[in-house]
Amino acid sequence: MLLLSACSDRFSDSRPDCPEGGTGDVVITLDADIRNENINVKSASGEEIPVDDFWVEIFNSKSKRLYCEKYAEAKDDVINLNTGNYRLLAKHGDSLGVGFDKPFYMADVAFAVEARKDNSVSAVAKLANVKVKVIFGENLSNTEFYGDCFAIVRNSDRKVKSELKFRKDETRAGYIPAGELILEVYAKIGDSYKYYPVEAKSYSPNDFVTFEIDADVRSGDVTVALTIDDSVEVLEKTVVIPADSALPAAEPVMSMDGFDNEGAVYMSSGTAPKIDELDIDINAPAELSSLMLEINSDCLASGGVPSTVDLLNPGTALTALKKAGFVWYVTTSSTVAVVDFKLVAAYLAMNGVYDPSSPEAASVKVTAKDKKGREVAGTVRFILEQGAVARVNVADVNVWATRIVSPEAFFDNGMPKDATLEYSTDGVRWESAGAPVKISSDKAVYATIDGLEPGTGYCFRVVSAGQVISKGDYSIVTEQAAQLGNSGMESWTTQLHHYKTKGLISDNNETRDWYRPWASEDEAWWDVNSKKTLATYTSQQYAEYKVVPTVSYSSDAAEGSCSAQLVSTFICNMASDVDDGIGGAGNLGGSITGMGVEYAKAAGEMFIGTSSEDGSHASEGHSFTSRPSSLSFKYKYDSYDNDVFKVTVRVEDASGNVIASKEMSDGRASSGWASMTIELDYSVLDRKAARIYVCFRSSSLADEDITYRKTKVTIAGTTKNGYIGSVLKVDDLQLNY
């Protein structure tokens, strides 16, 4: 049972199917519909299906795969999808597999995701190929009547390379892809086999087929009782094959795939050909007795490949054949065989020597002989040509976190018109970047490749006319999607500020806490300008008004337990007045005997860098080698006197030149947590990043112009009095790529 019900934003389609752009969450649970060896009975137990080994995939309405994972991991995932229509595919096994241990299970379900609703869909992963069993009757199994017997079940589709062979003592069921299946019964009469062909019939996925075969020893007729359980009904049919319809086992036949009409394949010297299929298929109903190769090639001979070899018994030639790329599927008593030459072609292309007067790199004659001495033969040839050779290049500055700008390829011996660029993360699954967008005499420039994964290695190749023509391996690693230190504003260090207050007889030594946004100075990214409003000498009365840090942490957080709080403030060491004991900015009151007048106004600043003892910027920026496209953050802003807050972002190269920047100076009031994104403008595209600088300021005004009022403010969990202007809280910083 596949159950999907809507709750992480881990997997999202960047182009939602629905205009609303909402999302829903999907949870996957999986079971499989299986049956035991009694094929007419469904059972929840019986065959053990490794459910955790199922592959689970989700596709959007454009057939783009959004998710692929084994069920062992998928069952614990919560998958966030944009609203719209989707297809879920769950599968286990090889869809083209043939054998007694190769069931292929699959579920294919269409479902829709709706925003803010409990989305669910269920399905059953059923057998997606055909399960076949053959039962031989007593007469056929009796050696007094027939020397031997066996049955072959094969699929008429040539893509299915193997077949099921049931000997008379075989009790297992086998599996074969659905489609048109052919049953052939072979019975040994005297010294020779005859076969009884049953008319081909189409079978559907999840069909359970039983052939009960027996012979009439008096007439020699063969009876086939056919039972098909398709989960809905059981169909039964009996076919009688008269003895005079039995035929001698057919002669072997051979077919070639991927070669031209003259049995040749053409390759460019020095480049591995991109070939989907290059093989010889052999069908020998009377069973093979030998499968001989006669090989004519200096290149293969230099690699230890013998001039003649029987693939049924390669002996000491096995290692050299495999090293040269020969792949074959055949065993003793086989009735079918496949010789795959794809890797041989690649070996010859990469190791063969181009000779314009004799471009043939190899010829291989394949001769298949059956046990009745009948044979079939064919010769294939491998021709080397001098073709274009491409060398891929991507400038380092053009490698970003999620895109590669203007990749190039340089060509020797001319440029093919269809030279497409392909890229891959594993060298197995390739994506096309398309044809060139700009061409010169020996260089092709391709379009920017978007949608890449940060911090990931990509390899490249150039393909023309079905062949890889790029020389050597070329790869890059995309920039990391690096983030700012302490981006969640969770790490803070409390330090002591030492100051003096005026006493009657002598001055008093005092301390006050102030706060810096890091856990240890070695890991510090950020600093603050709090020293601007931490007075060093003041009156004792109302000292809390006169020693105020501009930046602290707050337990009011968008995420986690802390946010950064920046306040605009005014401090003054003046004596009290009759109103409230504190002089205003325009009414400083009377000075205290022996003290100078010390006052300051400052907007709270938190910035990447270090601060000096007076709260000014001692340095700006931190080492940083990625190039983000924007900065997002959450904020609250208690604006006073229509004030606005300010954010500055800069990315610099190794020489200190600004390559991207943005300043936002119109941050508006928000009583609840709001989101803001600042897009970066890159003025320089041909240099890598080396440093990044970000500064948050609680006011866009100059310090001397800020306004304030007498009020209370909570600083690091403690409520204080002060002359406070605007208050900015910042949390959950994220760089986007």
Q: Look at the block and give the residue holding tokens 């005026």.
A: 502
Q: Determine the 3-state secondary structure of 568 from DSSP.
A: strand
**How many C-beta neighbours within 10 Å does residue 21 have?**
12
pLDDT tens digits along 522-538: 999 999 999 999 988 88
Does residue 474 contact residue 393 with C-beta atoms inside 8 Å? Answer: yes
The DSSP letter of residue 158 is: T
Q: Look at the block and give the residue holding tokens 């709001």.
A: 674
Does residue 30 contact residue 1 with C-beta atoms inside 8 Å? Answer: yes
pLDDT score at 244: 63
227 pLDDT above the threshold of 90 = no
Does residue 149 contact residue 169 with C-beta atoms inside 8 Å? Answer: no
Closest CA to 204 of 136, 126, 265: 126
- The DSSP bridge partners found for residue 209 are 132, 228
What is the torsional sign of CA 38, 44, 45, 47?
A: positive
Q: What is the mean pLDDT of residues 475-481?
A: 98
User: Which range among 278-287, 578-587, 728-737 shows the weakest confidence by mean pLDDT?
Assistant: 578-587
Q: Determine the 3-state secondary structure of 276 from DSSP.
A: coil
Instruction: Name the range with the highest mean pLDDT among 180-189, 323-332, 580-589, 622-631.
Output: 622-631
Q: Determine the 3-state secondary structure of 52 from DSSP.
A: helix
What is the torsional sign of CA 318, 319, 324, 330?
A: positive
Does residue 291 contact residue 281 with C-beta atoms inside 8 Å? Answer: no
Does residue 215 contact residue 145 with C-beta atoms inside 8 Å? Answer: yes
Q: What tokens appear for 256 in the block? A: 């070639």
Distance (Å, whole) CA 561 – CA 299: 70
Strands (E), 33-77: 34-35, 42-43, 55-60, 65-70
Q: What is the mean pLDDT of residues 639-655?
A: 97
**How many C-beta neighbours within 10 Å does residue 47 have?**
14
Q: What are the helix (H) ranges across 34-153?
A: 71-74, 138-141
Q: Look at the block and give the residue holding tokens 């707050």.
A: 554
Kindly report the pTM of this predicted structure: 0.53
Q: Look at the block and give the residue holding tokens 């079939």.
A: 376
pLDDT tens digits along 45-59: 345 677 888 898 999
